[in-house]
Amino acid sequence: MPIGAKTMRPESETMTRVYDLWVVAKPAEDVPGEWVAHCLEFDVVTQGRNARHAFEMASEAVAMVISDDLKASRDPSLRRAPKSFWDELYAMIPRAKAIDPTNRETVLETVKASEVHALFGQMQVAFRAIPENYGEEELNVPALWCSGGAATDAAAFS
């Protein structure tokens, strides 16, 4: 399912939990070809083969830690990333360029590490409550921005 192809709203607030999460994806400097994704709300870091894969991996990783926290009666929001990471995000936002939703899939799959400093977006992860269990996570990225690098001026980002 393409990222962002589905609008998710909980059918019932008592049955579904929806988290809006900031995710920053950057090319991994020490692992060529890999992208590192960092979910700031839960301070979960993971990586993928490209930007899109990194976002998908972030969704999966976040789902796992939230699910485990909820099962253990632990508040997942206590995992919040340190302030320095939020400051970095806030510094990027004014200079970033929004990626056209119609080009989002193309950008996520084709953007090269040399073209951007970071991609970031607010990702939604929804949990459908199954009795005694949380799972069936879904991913949606309503908006995506690009920060720094030559690609911000490329036609694909306009």
Partner 1 sequence: MSMRLRDLVKCAKAAGATVEEPTRGSHWKVTVASKSYTIPCHNGIKTEVSDIYINGLCRCFGWDRHRFINGLGGSDVARGSSTTDSSLGVAIVHFPGDAFGLATLCSVGGATAPSWNSVSCPRCTALRSALPENAE
Per CB under 8 A, does 61 bind partner 1? yes
Region of 5-13, 49-57, 112-120, 121-129 interacting with partner 1 (CB under 8 A) = 49-57
Per CB under 8 A, does 43 bind partner 1? yes
Q: How many CB atoms lie within 10 A of CB 119?
A: 28
Q: How far apart are CA 1 and CA 139, in angstroms?
A: 9
Q: How far apart are CA 36 and CA 45, in angstroms?
A: 7
3-state helix, strand, coil in the chain (%, to 5): 35, 35, 30
Q: Which of 57, 108, 118, 126 binds partner 1 (CB under 8 A)?
A: 57
Per CB under 8 A, does 36 bind partner 1? yes
In whole angstroms, the minimum distance from the beta carbon of 62 to partner 1 comes to: 9
Per CB under 8 A, does 70 bind partner 1? no
Q: Which of 8, 18, 45, 113 binds partner 1 (CB under 8 A)?
A: 45
Per CB under 8 A, does 138 bind partner 1? no
Region of 1-9, 59-67, 93-101, 121-129 interacting with partner 1 (CB under 8 A) = 59-67
In whole angstroms, the minimum distance from the beta carbon of 154 to partner 1 comes to: 26
Name the residue among 54, 78, 59 with its Cα closest to residue 136.
59
How far is residue 31 from each of residues 21, 50, 142, 146, measured CA to CA in Å? 25, 12, 28, 21
Within 77-116, the residues that bind partner 1 by CB under 8 A are 79, 82
Two structure tokens written together for 155:
């036609």
Per CB under 8 A, does 28 bind partner 1? yes
CB 144 within 8 A of CB 24: no
Q: Write the single-letter amino acid at 150.
A: A
CB 36 within 8 A of CB 45: yes
Residues at the interface with partner 1 (CB under 8 A): 26, 28-31, 34, 36, 38, 43-49, 53, 57, 60-61, 64-65, 68-69, 72, 74, 79, 82
